Amino acid sequence: MQNPITVAILGVVAERSAFGRLKGRQLESLGMRKRRRQFHAVRSAKLGSTSPPRRRKTSLILVFISAWLMLGCGGPQSTLDPAGRGAEQITELFWWSVAVNLLIWLFVIGLAVYATWAQPGGHRHRKANLLIIGGGAVFPTLVLTVYLIYGLALLPGLLAPAPEGSLQIAVLGEQWWWRVRYHPQGGEPVELANEIRLPVGKPVDLFLASPDVIHSLWIPSLTGKMDMIPGRVNRLTLEATKTGVYRGICAEYCGSAHALMKFDVVVMEPDAFAAWLEHQAQPASMPQRAEARGRELFLIHGCSACHTVRGTPAEGKVGPDLTHVGSRVSLGAGILPNEPAAFLRWIAHTEAVKPGVHMPAFGMLPRKDLQALAVFLEGLE
Ligand code: CUA
């Protein structure tokens, strides 16, 4: 936010400063007050009466743009609206640095304004050198050292693993979606995709990996980001402090659909979470009559070669597990609403919806077949 305002103020200061130097010699013999009065009179005559309002207008527009940008600091995908322990600490660090930077900024702007009015050559070289060495080298070194110590002191808390017996979730970055596997204590792993649900107030360990390219998992509302690197497993511990639905994104360029690689994070009360996980472990329910046709089409058109729907012969492992896909918040890795019309669009036009996606489009199927498929998938709750 400070930059546009700095640009506006320094523009005004530079203009005044240049004009002041121009007139300085002519006005040298006059007293300070008289000189200032004359300065303003000459300036108004030179610049005309339209210049100051125009400058003020530009400054106002810049301030409004900055304020508008600051509105992006809330919502389901913002570190500055924290809903997790890690994000709370990062937010605190951010606001401290904003406060300190604001003070430094005010001081620098104060100096710039002072330079406009100061007598040219009014300061000794020794003083100027002291300002350059003190303000340009010693002071920044001190401030950055304090930031460094503050930041390093946060790391042990942010990197500490969850206590023994905590929930463990493996998340794999795929091209371009998220494979999510819950490992409940004493239970079988439960696989789903493109959605992570968490119990509020409980620390959770995420184990992050990738089979091919580097991704980075970032849930800004909950904690900082962590890379997913082929050949190694990174641990990211997080603890959600507020229930709600948050947004996760891939924060490392990973290919053509990188910007369309998102997911939802649903933070629930612990009881509701336990019931949800138990339901996710179940196979898909038997389809009703309306969905039976879609199930048949799903199997004959080869969808089962890539996708698993537990409780049916579909056991493909290449694409996302669809056993309970109808219960998820969104489709296509966080880019479409979860509703039949969006399902139909996704199946028929995968490449148009997510350029670069590996799933072929099935737009050649008759519309009623696409509708039947959408109804079947939407019914997998
Ligand atoms: Cu995955 Cu960017």
Confidence of residue 22 (pLDDT cuts 50, 70, 90): very low
Residue 334 Cβ < 6 Å to ligand 1: no
Beta bridge partners of 337: 330
Whether 259 shows a pLDDT value over 60: the answer reads: yes
272 & 175 share domain: yes
Is the sign of the CA dihedral 294, 300, 306, 308 positive or negative?
A: positive
Choose one of 140, 159, 178: the last residue of a domain: 159
Choose one of 129, 159, 189: the last residue of a domain: 159
Neighbouring C-alpha atoms within 13 Å toward the C-beta of 173: 32
181 & 274 share domain: yes
195 & 149 share domain: no
Number of domains, the chain: 4
Does residue 316 belong to any structural domain of this protein? yes
Closest CA to 195 of 150, 247, 124: 247
pLDDT at residue 8 in the model = 66
28-61 pLDDT tens trace? 444 555 555 655 565 555 555 444 566 677 778 8
Q: Which amino acid is residue 335, in one-letter code?
A: I
pLDDT at residue 33 in the model = 54
- The minimum-distance atom of ligand 1 relative to the CA of 255 is 2
- Give nearest CA residue, ligand 1 atom 1: 215
Choose one of 132, 159, 186: the last residue of a domain: 159
Q: What does the CA dihedral 368, 373, 378, 381 come to, rounded to 10 degrees? A: 140
- The minimum-distance atom of ligand 1 relative to the CA of 215 is 1
176 & 263 share domain: yes
66-97 pLDDT tens trace? 777 766 678 898 888 999 999 999 999 999 99
CA atoms of 36 and 28, how far apart (whole Å) = 11
270 & 299 share domain: no
Cα–Cα distances in Å, from 37 out to 32, 150, 380? 9, 49, 80
Task: Please say whether the beta carbons of 207 and 167 come within 8 A.
Answer: no
Residue 330's domain is classified under what CATH number? Answer: 2.60.40.420
pLDDT at residue 318 in the model = 95
Does residue 71 belong to any structural domain of this protein? no
pLDDT at residue 291 in the model = 77
Q: How far is the CA of 215 from the centre of ligand 1 (A)?
A: 4
Lowest mean pLDDT among 68-77, 236-245, 292-301, 324-333: 68-77
Cα–Cα distances in Å, from 108 out to 10, 11, 135, 147, 315? 10, 14, 10, 20, 65
Does residue 80 belong to any structural domain of this protein? no
272 & 178 share domain: yes
Which of the pair, 236 or 119, is modelled with greater confidence? 236
127-173 pLDDT tens trace? 888 888 998 899 999 999 999 999 899 999 888 999 999 999 999 99
Does residue 74 belong to any structural domain of this protein? no
Q: Is 160 helix (H, G, I), strand (E, B) or coil?
A: coil
Residue 179 Cβ < 6 Å to ligand 1: no
Give this prediction's pTM: 0.79
265 & 210 share domain: yes
pLDDT at residue 336 in the model = 95
Whether 221 shows a pLDDT value over 70: the answer reads: yes
Does residue 359 belong to any structural domain of this protein? yes
Write phi, then psi, for 48 (nearest 5 degrees). 80, 165
Q: Which helix (H) or strand (E) covers residue 127, if one does?
A: helix 125-133
261 & 176 share domain: yes
266-286 pLDDT tens trace? 999 999 999 999 999 999 887
Percent residues over pLDDT 90 in the chain = 65
151 & 238 share domain: no
Q: How far is the CA of 224 from the centre of ligand 1 (A)?
A: 16
Whether 236 shows a pLDDT value over 80: the answer reads: yes
CA atoms of 336 and 194, how far apart (whole Å) = 12
Beta bridge partners of 167: 204
Q: Which helix (H) or strand (E) covers residue 150, if one does?
A: helix 139-159
Does residue 25 belong to any structural domain of this protein? yes
Does residue 9 belong to any structural domain of this protein? yes
109 & 149 share domain: yes
56 & 137 share domain: no
Does residue 344 belong to any structural domain of this protein? yes
254 & 321 share domain: no
Domain containing residue 29: 4-60
